[in-house]
Amino acid sequence: MDVIYSFIPLAEKTVILVPSFYQPCISHISKSLGLDADILGMGICLMLGYPLGYIMNKLPYGKIRHIFSFLSGVFLLQCTVQQQWIHIFITSLVSYVFLLLLPSSYSKNVVPIFTMLYLSLGHVHRQYTNYGGWDMDFTTAQMILTIKLYSLAYNLYDGYILKTGNMENRATLKCYHVAIRELPGFIEYLGYVFCFSTLLAGPAYEYKLYVSSCDGSKLYNKYGKPHGTIPSVVLPTLRPFLLSIIFLAIFVIGRTFVPFLNPSNPQYDLPTILEPSLLTKTWAIRFLYTYAAIFVLKCKFYYVFKTTEGTNNIWMAGFDGFEQNETGSNEKKPLGWTTSVNVDILQVETGSNIKAVMAAWNKKTANWLFRYVYIRTNGSLFFTYFISAFWHGFYPGYYLSFLSLAFFTTVERLGRKKLNYYFIQKRNCSFRNFLVTTICLLNVTLIMVYSSLPMHLLSWEWSVAGLKTHYFIGHILGLILLFVFYLLPIRKIKII
């Protein structure tokens, strides 16, 4: 660590895009408002994505967009983490060398291992120097970068497999729409990994989706003619922007009424949900308080997800492009704006099964885990959840949360397999369907709140204490259901 710290003066000299008055100004405003300077700076930089996106939308297609994307990303990164931005740059350069020199069959393993190792060292350093702290550092952007580079290595590998005509690789066939045949040029590569609208907090979508917004191929054919009627960016930008403001307000106001951690010293003092004054309440009151406190915490992420959605939509990066009309005419119809959508809030809050809720939360990370971990390991659920926890860091709470979710998902799958017969046979009974849906919704709500506790409590002691306040009800219920489902016979549905 001393050797690494010796390079700090050199790294500080690379911070050349941030005006000298910026940090003192942020510090002064944060003290006036009683907010953390890091959080305030991050929020401002996320909002700066809107004017930067507006400029990006006005630039001509081609390299100028990639250069602007790169420089804007570096600017925002230097504003938020100062000299630590150099870690992102180093990781990007080394990964590009690997992609350039190694065959794709090797780089698809080397690049993910290298990026995950670099990210892990960042997590270890953060936990060693500031255990349980929530200060802003480079690891958040490093997590996004890891997804991008991990995915890019597989995009090139899939492109190579498709180029050879091998149609037997099922994983590659599932990802053909994001596969690329050649390594991007260095300028295009830097524009992608440092893209201002995705670098700080995602969404980390694939290179092919990014470059189609920079070269114009998403909207125009090679003759410069539009594929169809190009939609306006006003509503797709305004809608997530307004939602982000609403969720920010809920978070700022709500955390004063239902704090999850101790407001005075969240890093060291006993969390509010573990305080004796709350533990004396009935279980129902404790659960409702925990549900409300976790919802308020999620609003912070909803703010981030919706802000980045808007900053991508304003320069058409969130637009999905056009599809051919069923009539076969040359005029194509727009697909939608799902590329930039990183959360389905309604599904997260009202989902009736764990799989749907997990797929709706941080959707681009879920895509990465599905495309480049789950289907590449023959559908290993526990390994996929382990990689998700590993990507987050090394706090015990992460592993308790994600491995518990893997267990609950396994129970849910077995239950659906064994009970499917009874659901199908009674599909026309509206009351029964309503009752089953309600029970599933309540059960998933219970499981998601219960399994989220360690994720926010981080340490082993606090995580176990948090689960204990709910009598380990999730794991006990899961084990009981697993035993019952295991004993139930599989009844086949008769097809008439």
What is the model's pLDDT at position 10? 93
Which of these three, 193, 214, 235, is where a domain ends? 214
Query: What are the pLDDT digits (tens) for 429-473?
Result: 666 667 777 888 888 999 999 999 999 999 999 999 999 999 999
Q: Is 233 in the same domain as 275?
A: yes
> Taking all residues of the chain, what is their mean pLDDT, rounded to a whole number?
92
- For residue 235, tell me if it sits in a domain: yes
pLDDT range class, residue 329, cuts 50, 70, 90: low
Q: How far apart are CA 205 and CA 213, in angstroms?
A: 12
Query: What are the pLDDT digits (tens) for 256-305?
Result: 999 999 998 999 999 999 999 999 999 999 999 999 999 999 999 999 99
Q: Is 94 in the same domain as 193?
A: yes
Question: Worst-scoring range by mean pLDDT, 74-88, 162-176, 188-202, 203-217?
Answer: 162-176
Residue 91's domain comprises: 2-214
- For residue 111, tell me if it sits in a domain: yes
Instruction: Please give the share of the chain, as a percent, with pLDDT higher than 70.
Output: 95
Question: Worst-scoring range by mean pLDDT, 39-43, 45-49, 50-54?
Answer: 39-43
Contact at 8 Å (CB) between 49 and 197?
yes
Query: What's the CA dihedral at 355, 356, 358, 361 to 10 degrees?
Result: 170
Which of these three, 150, 183, 214, is where a domain ends? 214
What is the model's pLDDT at position 166? 79
Q: How far apart are CA 15 and CA 82, in angstroms?
A: 6
Which range has highest mean pLDDT (100-114, 220-234, 321-335)? 100-114
Q: How many helices (H) and strands (E) does the chain have?
A: 23, 2
Query: What are the pLDDT digits (tens) for 299-312?
Result: 999 999 999 999 99
Q: Residue 255 above 70 pLDDT?
A: yes
Contact at 8 Å (CB) between 127 and 393?
yes
Query: Per-residue pLDDT averaged across 376-384, rounded?
Result: 92
Give the tokens for residue 105. 């069959």
What is the model's pLDDT at position 194? 98
Q: Residue 491 above 80 pLDDT?
A: no
pLDDT range class, residue 3, cuts 50, 70, 90: confident
Q: Is 374 in the same domain as 387?
A: yes
* CA-closest candidate to residue 190, choices 302, 68, 282: 68
Q: What is the tally of structural domains in the chain?
A: 3
- For residue 221, tell me if it sits in a domain: no
- For residue 280, tell me if it sits in a domain: yes
- For residue 222, tell me if it sits in a domain: no
* CA-closest candidate to residue 73, choices 144, 13, 179: 144
Contact at 8 Å (CB) between 74 and 84?
no
Q: Is 317 in the same domain as 394?
A: no
Q: Is 170 in the same domain as 270?
A: no
Contact at 8 Å (CB) between 320 and 341?
no
What is the model's pLDDT at position 326? 52
Q: Is 195 in the same domain as 275?
A: no
φ and ψ at 272, to 5 degrees?
A: -60, -40
Contact at 8 Å (CB) between 314 and 47?
no
Q: How far apart are CA 439 and CA 426, in angstroms?
A: 16
pLDDT range class, residue 152, cuts 50, 70, 90: very high
* CA-closest candidate to residue 473, choices 294, 289, 287: 287
Q: Is 100 in the same domain as 183?
A: yes
Judge if pTM exceeds 0.85. Answer: yes
Q: How far apart are CA 449 and CA 351, in angstroms?
A: 13
- For residue 219, tell me if it sits in a domain: no
Query: Per-residue pLDDT averaged across 400-407, rounded?
Result: 95
- For residue 275, tell me if it sits in a domain: yes
Q: Is 251 in the same domain as 126?
A: no
Which of these three, 319, 342, 365, is where a domain ends? 342
* Residues with Cβ within 8 Å of residue 358, at least 6 apart in sequence: 366, 405, 409
Q: Is 97 in the same domain as 164?
A: yes
Q: Residue 420 above 90 pLDDT?
A: no
Q: How far apart are CA 357 and CA 74, in angstroms?
A: 34
Give the tokens for residue 206. 């694939």
- For residue 220, tell me if it sits in a domain: no
Q: Higher pLDDT residue, 455 or 427? A: 455
Q: Is 204 in the same domain as 311?
A: no
Q: Is 203 in the same domain as 322?
A: no
Can you spell out the DSSP letters for 16-56? -SS-TTHHHHHHHHHHHHT--HHHHHHHHHHHTHHHHHHHH
Q: Is 284 in the same domain as 312?
A: yes
Query: Per-residue pLDDT averaged across 126-142, rounded?
Result: 91
Q: Higher pLDDT residue, 431 or 63? A: 63
Query: Per-residue pLDDT averaged across 186-213, rounded?
Result: 96
